[in-house]
Chains A and B, each alone.
Chain A
């Protein structure tokens, strides 16, 4: 085979892979958006909406872990921040907060924690309550759900990556940080309602339309958001910046010697990933109607990583599907009578199996499959081409 032929073949392989890739994305988005046409059970729509949110977390993990090589064991921090920011706004819209009149909302737990005789107004019912004042505007809470994770992630990642901390050390720092913030949120009970979290929330309201979580419209909000995030993430990793990011993952020193400020790329993508997690937190609160410090449990953050590993850490859509799949399996197993007490064994077993036998997760299997089909096609194609060339020569 001559040089020219191999070169065309590799081009063909890439073209085919790209086509297969886009086909999978299109199919996934079509299924997600089309689901309400098939499923008319509002409970299942709501449940799947929650899992789609977890799918978004999978995307965030794949972006930082798969593409940037940064394992963030504290992704729950950004999810939690997003959730709390959203919940603060929605809390101020709930009936119990508005009982003193619509211009003077105060969360019920603040009344409850208040010192006797305190002014029952957000400004000064307790020391930190003024922080809630801007959250009376719903758009503010929604914006902060993304902005605050972005800012926190930017500050955090700037210090980590400028100091060239890498690998497991990043994982440990993020882990310690999520523990720290969780502790502080539980302790700051007068303004966060502590361990119980923020519950009894109003519904997301956009131009007068209230998004009841058990409504197909709410499902569409989540599914649409996921589709947008997925495509945005796909675009990001396809850009030159995405390619350069992957190069910094492989060999940061080489990337530096090519003139790239490696830390800047790491900070950028780490921050984006945190923003996505924050957005996921926002949507989760819309679908589940509460925010809780348990969002910042270590177990939850590690679970996210496992979802991404099951789906394929190097693939945004793989990690996304992995998250949705694992949660569906968990729910189904735990609701099946014979597995009622044994479902955790199954989940644990799946994790072990995936790490041992599917190091690239579902996406890896899909890729192998596509490659195999492709090789067959190319082989056939080459044969015809060679045959044609032979004929011409003859």
Chain B
């Protein structure tokens, strides 16, 4: 049985009535035999719902697909969806609801690091598993989180050398939103830039969500740089690219090379503002494989929007459910400990290609790609690694594949 999400909401009205009666009743009723309950925790309201709703949709779609194909070990997955409301306080509260009251062993959720950090104590102290689908800054080594988004080395280790060697650009202006991810990306970038003989001439930040770029773009113009490395996040991205063009800068002379600008932001700004700029991600909607095309088609049908775009965090939200499924099947148990053991080394053919969970740090092997944006709002993939590369969450501190900091036994702090 294939249900789309709107139908899902309607069907669950019946459950809703039960839920209104009382929390404990609901938990009891749903815990019927032949079901596995998992939590989904994204913002359905508030500013971040713009992106997080699509992540929740992708997660739901994967669950529906798995259920339609016979479930996990013959059991149906029963998702419990909670709204983080774009507020770390709410995330924390809902996480404790899912983990402590509903006693769930697995929750899929979070887009921002701030929300992940707010829920982490709940998962670590109650030993549940959190599947986190977003690219992030690294520097985390939790045995209670499975990270399926890119870490800095998976976005930058091909990007910076490519900018310097292939594009021939050497003077970097680094700009980002003022929080940890962009600052950490900048740190890794600087190391790579210097290694490859480039130089960075500025490292500037703007308040998260700020949309007034006049002064910053003017600085970029005056700085004498020949490439802009953007770690700008969220809706600021749109204002940035628009201001960039309005001040007469063009991507053929001074390209923006971005680590966060995805299909969503491109569609939101209007593709004409981004034509010719670059982004590095493991996944693009433009990946030209049958598997990806089918995925996009299914997703569009699922959300009932023929123009819906797919992007990196969305794709990770989707495939991480499958990784979890395989782990449960391998372990034969849904407990967090069993799934953690089961997921180590788990391989899945995702829309972006083969993904593998690193048995040591529970991050995911992904294939870095660089795309150049076109007038249709889609990227053309102009460079990609031959194979998935190993996730190194501590790369900024000298972590290498031969010298891992984060292992199954925990973080080796002596190496920091």
- What is the interface of chain A, defined by CB distance below 8 A to chain B? 41-44, 46-47, 50, 99-100, 108, 111-113, 183, 186-187, 189, 193-197, 199-201, 212, 214, 288-290, 292, 294-295, 297, 300, 331-332, 334-341, 343-344
Contacts and interface: CB of A to CB of B under 8 A. Distances in A.
By secondary structure, the B interface counts as: helix
Contacts of A332: 20
B83 A334 contact: yes
Given A99-B413, A344-B45, A289 B81 contact: no
7 contacts: A46-B96, A186-B179, A195-B114, A214-B100, A289-B121, A294-B114, A300-B87
B25 interface: no
Nearest to B21: A336
Contacts of B416: 111
A340 B8 CA distance: 12
Contacts of B113: 195-196
B207 A199 contact: no
A41 B24 contact: yes
B89 interface: yes
A196 B116 CA distance: 9
B121 A199 contact: yes
B44 to A, nearest CB: 6
B69 interface: no
Given A42-B100, A199-B118, A294-B88, A340 B180 contact: no
Instruction: Give the top 3 A-B pairs by smallest Cβ distance, nearest first.
Output: A337-B16, A195-B179, A43-B101
B139 interface: yes
Contacts of A112: 139, 184, 397
Contact of B16 (A212, A288, A338): A338
Given A186-B207, A335-B23, 10 more contacts: A43-B101, A47-B93, A194-B178, A290-B121, A294-B87, A332-B20, A337-B12, A338-B12, A338-B16, A341-B45
Given A41-B24, A289-B92, A290-B117, A100 B45 contact: no
B117 A294 contact: no
B405 to A, nearest CB: 12
Interface in B1-17: 9, 12-13, 15-17
A294 B15 contact: no
B183 to A, nearest CB: 7
Interface in B215-244: none
Nearest to A334: B83
B145 interface: no
B61 interface: no
A58 B9 CA distance: 35
A334 to B, nearest CB: 5
B82 interface: yes
Contact of B183 (A189, A197, A289, A340): A189
A363 to B, nearest CB: 26
Contact of A100 (B85, B183, B413): B413
A44 B97 CA distance: 8
Given A337-B13, A340-B83, A341-B45, A43 B118 contact: no
B268 interface: no
B120 interface: yes
B88 A292 contact: yes
Nearest to A100: B413
B286 interface: no
Q: Which of B20, B24, B89, B416 has the most CB of A within 10 A?
A: B89
Interface string B81-121: 11101011100110011001100000000000110011011
B392 to A, nearest CB: 15
A186 B178 contact: yes
Interface string B381-399: 0000000000000000100
Given A112-B139, A183-B207, A335-B19, A340 B101 contact: no
A44 B16 CA distance: 19
B48 to A, nearest CB: 11
A44 B23 contact: yes
Contact of B89 (A193, A294, A340): A294
Contact of B81 (A100, A113, A297, A340): A340
A289 B92 CA distance: 9
A42 B102 CA distance: 11
Contacts of A47: 93, 96-97
A189 B45 contact: no
Given A197-B88, A290-B117, A294-B88, A341 B93 contact: no
